[in-house]
Amino acid sequence: MKKKLRYIKKDFLKWRLRNIPERKFVIILSIVVGILSGFAAVVLKNLVHDTYMLISDASWSNVVGGNILMLIYPSIGILLTILFLKYIIKGNIGHGIPNILYSISRKKGKIPFHNTYSSLIASTLTVAFGGSVGLEAPIATTGSAIGSNIGRFFHLNSKNVILLLGCGAAGAIAGIFKAPIAGILFVLEVLMFDLTMTAAIPLLIASISASVIAYFFMGNGVQFAFAVKEQFSINQIPYFVLLGLFCGFVSVYFLRIISFIEGKFSKINKQYFKVLIGGVVLGVLIFIFPPLFGEGYEALSGLLHGNTDPLFRNSIFSQFQSQTWVCMLLLFAVILLKGIATSVTTSSGGVGGTFGPSLFLGGISGFFVATLINELGIAQMSTANFALVGMAAVMTGVMHAPLMSTFLIAEITGGYQLFAPLLIASAVSYMTVYPFEKHSIYTKKLAKHGDLLTHDKDKSAWRLMNMERLIETNFTIMRDGDKMLDLIRAIENTSRNIFPVLDEDDKFLGVVVLDDIRHLIFHPENYDNYTVNDLMHKMSDDDRVYITDSMYNVVKKYRLSDKYNLVVTDEENNYIGFLSRANVFSAYRNFVFEISDE
């Protein structure tokens, strides 16, 4: 049966090559990818919602009004996630958006097939049981994996595989929020695709297809369905600037606390110890502050409609619900603790992303700022509008994606009444964050390890090219103390004009250049008068590179040197080979062609 299917596939691929140009075929596949990504988004949201409703209906209340089960739910979810990955997937499913970015920059868009379902199931187990993370990154990974595997199944080239990967990510985000423009901008800003005509049409088709599927199965409502009732006026600009500043600092805090806690957990070697610590910490946080449970969208949706009841559901503070300042203290505590809850969840073994937490954190921050302004009697601001704008502002600060954040909220609200404050707050938030964090939460680690592909294709090419593949080693090696006659014999048996000189321990000493001794080689009477030590010259630091250097540093060396070849050694001065200027720049041209050809 499998053999027969292979023949059918082979015949189809031959027919396709003869009858359908690749570009048209990619457009057709983008529809398929969009539909499947949208369907995956629908399945994930409904699966998590139904599981959450089942869990939240069970309540063991203690004397202070909290739900005791909240203490153990997160540990159950994290443990189930780890068991699923260890015994069913039998491997690591990657780290959400950073995993997608890495596959684009280093793996030519290849994402394992199991990511078409593993991220979906693992994140469901984590979030439904209270893991304080979001579903957007897992569903984006699922959509990307769908696009990647469909592209590879039909033997498309790496550029089109990456394009379909982007279509899957766009479709997933568009489907989960019913926001096709935000889906496209997510790919352009977060995954850092170039907006070309080759990419624009498939991305647009995939996003629309996914949105249609989401509308078909879930109706007109979206995650935060909300109609703007209070219009923006020009005299509110200072307050939205203030909101942008506040959200910017909240974003910096969120990024820093996540890095700090992940660093602490990385020092713990035993997985069961991570689960124990993470489960206990998360359980206590959720027991005291129920809005930290799962995505927290129920509480956020309530705030958008002026309803604080979800904030106090199963809460030990429920008796203080009518007191505004207690509510504000609760909100501020949630702002401080959300980053801790998110990082503890992922660091202890849970699966989820920071897209959702940044939305939640922004909404809480916006509501908090508006309420504070109102309570102090400074002005009367719409808490709903501030919550929506805060969502965009924190997303911008955390993800460095101002356009995607702005259009996402605009599409959620079904119009552009808040477009001006969205742009103002997002811009202020970004400018506040950038001096502290040059990279987004997704790109920080990749940039640190030189694995980030950005819109600056020149810089990306140099950073991502592999030096080891370009090193030439077919040079005849001379040894310390060799006579000139030994050098002449070496010249007779090679086409190279450079001869590295090493000592008996393979330490690099210098080079002999053929042009430097040309005047001596035709005088045999001088052969016994010279050794290679007399004829070689040492290489300066400007003429050598280390194997640990990036190609970006190699290019800097070429700019400072007039040499056509740079010697490569390790940190202990052991000779490795040479880098040719011609080969390096030829590889650079090919690399740029691969990642940016229209």
Domain enclosing residue 513, as ranges: 461-596
pLDDT at 387 > cutoff 90: yes
Q: What is the pLDDT of residues 180-205, one digit of tens each?
A: 999 999 998 888 777 777 788 999 99
Question: In whole angstroms, what is the distance from residue 225 CA to residue 242 CA?
Answer: 26
Q: Has residue 591 got a pLDDT over 80?
A: no
Q: Assess whether 171 and 243 both reside in one domain.
A: no
Q: Do the domain assignments include residue 455? A: no
How far is residue 451's CA from residue 547's CA, in Å, rounded to a whole number? Answer: 17
**Shared domain check, 273 and 145:** no
Q: What is the CATH number of the domain that holds 572?
A: 3.10.580.10
pLDDT digits (tens, 9 = 90+) for 509-518: 888 888 888 8
Question: 223 pLDDT band (50/70/90 cuts)?
Answer: low
Q: What is the pLDDT of residue 104?
A: 81
Domain contains 225: no
> Are both 268 and 396 inside the same structural domain?
yes
Share of the chain above pLDDT 90, in %: 39
Nearest Cα residue to 494 out of 470, 471, 512, 468: 512
Structure tokens at 596: 């940016």
Quick check: 356 pLDDT over 60? yes
What's the average model confidence in pLDDT over 256-282? Answer: 91
Whether residue 302 is found in the same domain as residue 437: yes
Give the domain-ending residue among 387, 416, 449: 449
Same domain (yes/no): 392, 345: yes
Q: Do 180 and 293 belong together in one domain?
A: no
pLDDT grade for 225, boundaries at 50, 70 and 90: low
* 101 and 13 belong to one structural domain: yes
Residues 439, 491, single domain; the answer is no
Return phi, psi of residue 134, to 5°: -105, 165
Query: Which domain CATH number covers 199?
Result: 1.10.3080.10
Compute the mean pLDDT over every residue in the chain, rounded to the nearest whole number.
85
How many C-beta neighbours within 10 Å does residue 311 have?
25
- Residue 187 in any domain: the answer is yes
**Mean of the pLDDT values across residues 27-36?**
95
Residue 226 within any structural domain of the chain: no
**Confidence at residue 598, expressed as pLDDT on a 0 to 100 scale:** 46
Q: How many domains does the chain divide into?
A: 3
Q: Name residue, tokens 């595997």.
A: 149
User: What are the residue ranges of helices labelled H in 267-354?
Assistant: 271-288, 297-304, 324-347
SS (H, E, C) 476-497: CCEECCCEHHHHHHHHHCCCCC
State what percent of residues in the chain have pLDDT above 70: 90
Domain assignment present for residue 194? The answer is yes
Give the tens place of pLDDT for each residue, 395-433: 999 999 999 999 999 888 776 788 999 999 999 999 999
Question: What is the per-residue pLDDT for 63?
Answer: 43
CA distance 96 to 463: 22
Question: Bigger pLDDT: 147 or 67?
Answer: 147
The answer, yes or no, to whether residue 19 has pLDDT greater than 80, is yes
Domain end among 218, 251, 281: 218
pLDDT of residue 251: 96
Cα–Cα distance measured from residue 358 to residue 366, given in angstroms and rounded to the nearest whole number:
12
Could you tell me if 120 and 43 are in contact, meaning their C-beta atoms sit under 8 angstroms apart? yes
The two three-digit tokens of residue 553, written as one number: 């540093």
- Let me know whether 443 and 465 are in one domain: no
Report yes or no: 327 and 315 within 8 Å, Cβ to Cβ.
Answer: no
Two tokens, residue 569:
């050694």
Given 449, 474, 489, which residue is the final one in a domain? 449
Give the residue-averaged pLDDT of 359-369.
95
Are 420 and 538 part of one and the same domain?
no
- Give the C-alpha separation, 146 to 335, whole Å: 35
The rounded distance, in Å, linking the Cα atoms of 342 and 350 is: 9
109: left (phi over 0), alpha (psi -120 to 50) or beta: left
What is the sign, positive or negative, of the torsion defined by CA atoms of 197, 202, 205, 208? negative
> Is 224 inside a domain boundary?
no
Whether 454 maps to a domain, the answer reads: no
Give the lowest-confidence range in 216-220, 274-278, 452-456, 469-473: 452-456
Residue 539 pLDDT greater than 90, yes or no: no
- For 368-384, the pLDDT digits (tens) are 999 999 999 999 999 99
Nearest CA to 82 among 255, 274, 363? 274
Question: What is the Cα–Cα distance from 580 to 179, expressed in whole angstroms?
Answer: 49
Please name the residues in contact with 75: beta carbons below 8 A apart, sequence gap of 6 or more: 275, 276, 278, 279, 280, 282, 283
Q: Is residue 297 part of a domain?
A: yes
Contact of 576 with 508, CB cutoff 8 Å: no
For residues 296 and 404, state if they share a domain.
Answer: yes
Per-residue pLDDT of 123-143, as tens digits, reads: 999 998 889 998 888 999 999
Is there a single domain that holds both residue 415 and residue 508?
Answer: no
Could you tell me whether strands 508-513 and 478-479 are parallel, antiparallel, or unpaired per DSSP bridges? unpaired
